[in-house]
Structure 1
Amino acid sequence: MSSDPAPFAPSSFPVSSPSPSELPSDHPFLRGADAGGVAGSPLLARLRGEATDAPPSVWFMRQAGRSLPEYRAAREGTTMLEACVRPDLVAEITAQPVRRHTVDAGIFFSDIVVPALLAGVDVEIRPGVGPVFARPVRTSADVAALPPVGDAFEAALEPIRQAVRLSVGELGTTPLIGFAGAPFTVASYMVEGGPSRDHLRTRALMRSEPETWDRLAAWVAELSGRFLRAQVLAGASAVQLFDSWAGALGADMYRTHVQRHSAAALAHVADLPVPRIHFGVGASHLLRPMLEAGADVMGVDHRIRLDEALALLPEGTPVQGNIDPAVLFTSEQARFAEARAVLAAGAGASGHVVNLGHGVPPDADPQVLTDLVAFLHAQR
């Protein structure tokens, strides 16, 4: 394995004073259900690796979105990124799947490129394509031209804070999970200019100009970390760092060029008591180094059984996952069999929160999800 280069200090990107290293006294994480809070949530207990006799806890990645007719109605006339910075709309969309499916957590409605948008980067989400950056970042000069991450960015996060506060009000005693994109995935979009199947430009930049890559990834880590912290201090009771493309890297490349940047993002909430979930797609070979980046809980996709994942992780690691999204399109018998198998495979974990092995497909039948949640809640 190649040795890790020295940690990169993003001194060229001014930062403001950090927020207090404690939750506000009225934070829902600190209040029980009788006071309208989430302190007694079985889902949070499982994310902390604590035993509970409650029925299985479940939420779904991308549970808020195109699979719901109420989402399509709420989004009518707005672009995706416009919707992500409208606090009232974010709160409504965040709460929709909780109302419909009675899942055990809301996931903050956002997108991985929202922090870059708020920082002043020219990015859009093109329907049927995904995030597209007007000016790809591929050289040292491109990185130097990125906006500073200081007081102006903190001010730009105010709609996010307001959206979290409204979402918490809508969810009541159901916890809100904060969300951000991991540095590798977001930086890859910036280098490629948009979606990519192989991330060749990104992987080439890591090798040919590692200092340029490090400065870009550190800039993204600062954005993502501040984005997570703003959500937690405003009311989120857990966070998930989502690395869509990490599976494209080998373990050596991940440790050398990515791990410390994900660690820098998660470090922004390390002094706060909320659980930190780390999830990567196709990243079974990276479970250990992704956990070592500063996570408390490992999200596991559907490509590996949970008991096999647990064998790769330190004893006592809580896990999340990992029903194959494909079973949403099978018979009820097949779906419920898969759910039982996932519960059995996760039974050896100190804590297990049920989820899909990736996100809800946009053409999934909402009733299938509702029925699956009811089935899971009926299990012991």
Structure 2
Amino acid sequence: MSYQYPSLDDFPPLKNDLLLRAARGEETERAPVWIMRQAGRYLPEFREVRKSHEFFEVCRTPELATEVTLQPIRRFSGLLDASIIFSDILVIPQAMGMEVLMNPGPSFPDPLNIPADVEKLNKIVDVEKELGYVFQAITRTRMALAGEVPLIGFCGAPWTLFSYMVEGGGSKTFQKVKTWIFKYPEESKALLMRIADVCVDFLVGQVKAGAQLLQVFDSWAGELSPHDFDVFSKPSLVHISTKVRARLAAENLPHTPMTLFAKGSNYALASLAESAGYDTLGLDWCIDPAEARHLVKGKVALQGNMDPNVLYGGRDAIESAVKRMCEGFAVNGGSKAWIVNLGHGITPGVDPEDARWFLECVHKYSARK
């Protein structure tokens, strides 16, 4: 049964639009801030939910997904400028017909070993049928937020999803997936575009369900050389941004800012800013903010980029890093838009009070003068 999308006019009015203004390239009174994986294992209230619910059960149960999405918003009320729906990038391989387990990391019992294995995938993917639970969670969460902050929807990038589908989980060498791209380049490109088409349907459905910004996570982009990134990742990323924008316009849906976080691909920042079609580029912590600004030449907003492990260093280290980051992005100098985030997701051992201190320091040092 198809998911019945709400009327976007029924949602509560947005009270804090800092994130959306920054993503559109506007200067804001202070930099908006959110944290990748802000709803997750570092929060005791999330661990309490997980005591009685398996990971993908939480993802697939709209009431539970809404609850854990709201947990950091409640805990850090007034400090976070965005909420991101609790889900996982691997729901797309699941929708394509693959089994994915979480024990504790992702595991594919039956990965794609050779191109002939692609025949095992669903030929047609009905995202409303397969992923309607995400759309339901987005609609419920958007209502429950009552306009406090915008709601971010997301998906994994084709290269990253393809890597998991072939490797069967995480990898240190990426031997299997690189065998694919070098030995079977055309079959690899075909599957990457097939994944990209599912991403497009999924992202458009999230906007229809109530998402106000979209992020594409290319977590394994840094495993590719610059040449191979241009051949095997960037085309599918451009395909997603182009098709999503066209679909939103054709269906009279709101113009929705899009962020690309291609971790480890700082070599591609100039190219991505020029032609990838995203409003914002996320940065990992391995590039100086001033250098990133220079590379993108004001064509996109930036997001990032404190090393998540600074959160283990104590309050003085956190404050120093935030101050240095703010100075690096030259927020006080009236420069191009910037969204504060970590350079990757927050990790499970972080004390929530240290995360709070990070957010408080951002508010202190990112205000325009």
Match of 1:286 among 256, 262, 268: 268
Q: Note if contact 1:139-1:212 (Cα within 8 Å) is conserved in structure 2.
A: no
**Identity, % of aligned pairs?**
36
Question: What RMSD, in angstroms, separates the aligned Cα atoms of the two structures?
Answer: 2.0
Match of 1:352 among 338, 347, 360: 338
Residue 313 (structure 2) aligns with: 330
Q: Note if contact 1:226-1:268 (Cα within 8 Å) is conserved in structure 2.
A: no
Residue 365 (structure 1) aligns with: 351
1:171 maps onto 2:145 in alignment: yes
* 1:44 CA drift (Å): 0.9
**In 2, Cα distance between equivalents of 1:27 and 1:207:** 50
Please report the TM-score for the alignment, with normalisation by the length of structure 1. Answer: 0.87
1:58 maps onto 2:58 in alignment: no
Residue 311 (structure 1) aligns with: 294
**In 2, Cα distance between equivalents of 1:311 and 1:141:** 45
User: 1:262-300 CA distances to partner (integer Å, 9 max, x unpaired)?
Assistant: 222333422441111011222211223444332110000
User: 1:172-227 CA distances to partner (integer Å, 9 max, x unpaired)?
Assistant: 22101111110001100111111111212212211111121012212221222222
User: 1:57-93 CA distances to partner (integer Å, 9 max, x unpaired)?
Assistant: 1000011100000001112222211111110011111
**In 2, Cα distance between equivalents of 1:314 and 1:205:** 35
* 1:26 CA drift (Å): 1.2
1:222/1:27 CA distance change after superposition, 3 Å = farther
Partner amino acid, structure 1, of 2:111 = P
Residue 202 (structure 2) aligns with: 227
Q: Note if contact 1:123-1:134 (Cα within 8 Å) is conserved in structure 2.
A: yes
Q: How many residues align?
A: 349
**In 2, Cα distance between equivalents of 1:281 and 1:193:** 20
1:79 maps onto 2:79 in alignment: no
Q: Note if contact 1:164-1:235 (Cα within 8 Å) is conserved in structure 2.
A: yes
Residue 252 (structure 2) aligns with: none
SS at match of 1:178: strand
List structure 1 runs of 4+ shifted beyond 6 angstroms. Answer: none
Structure 1 unaligned spans of 5+? 1-18, 29-35
User: 1:136-179 CA distances to partner (integer Å, 9 max, x unpaired)?
Assistant: 113232113310234x4332222111100111122222101111
SS at match of 1:301: coil
Residue 303 (structure 2) aligns with: 320
Which runs of structure 2 are paired with 1:187-206 in the superposition (5 Å)? 187-206=162-181
Partner amino acid, structure 2, of 1:296 = D
1:256/1:119 CA distance change after superposition, 3 Å = closer
Match of 2:245 among 242, 265, 270: 270
Residue 251 (structure 2) aligns with: none
* 1:25 CA drift (Å): 4.5
Q: Note if contact 1:247-1:286 (Cα within 8 Å) is conserved in structure 2.
A: no
Partner amino acid, structure 1, of 2:258 = R
Q: Note if contact 1:176-1:236 (Cα within 8 Å) is conserved in structure 2.
A: yes
Structure 2 unaligned spans of 5+? 249-254
Q: Note if contact 1:242-1:280 (Cα within 8 Å) is conserved in structure 2.
A: yes
1:95 maps onto 2:54 in alignment: no
SS at match of 1:321: strand
Residue 32 (structure 1) aligns with: none
1:331/1:39 CA distance change after superposition, 3 Å = closer
**In 2, Cα distance between equivalents of 1:40 and 1:73:** 29
Residue 141 (structure 1) aligns with: 116
1:120/1:309 CA distance change after superposition, 3 Å = same
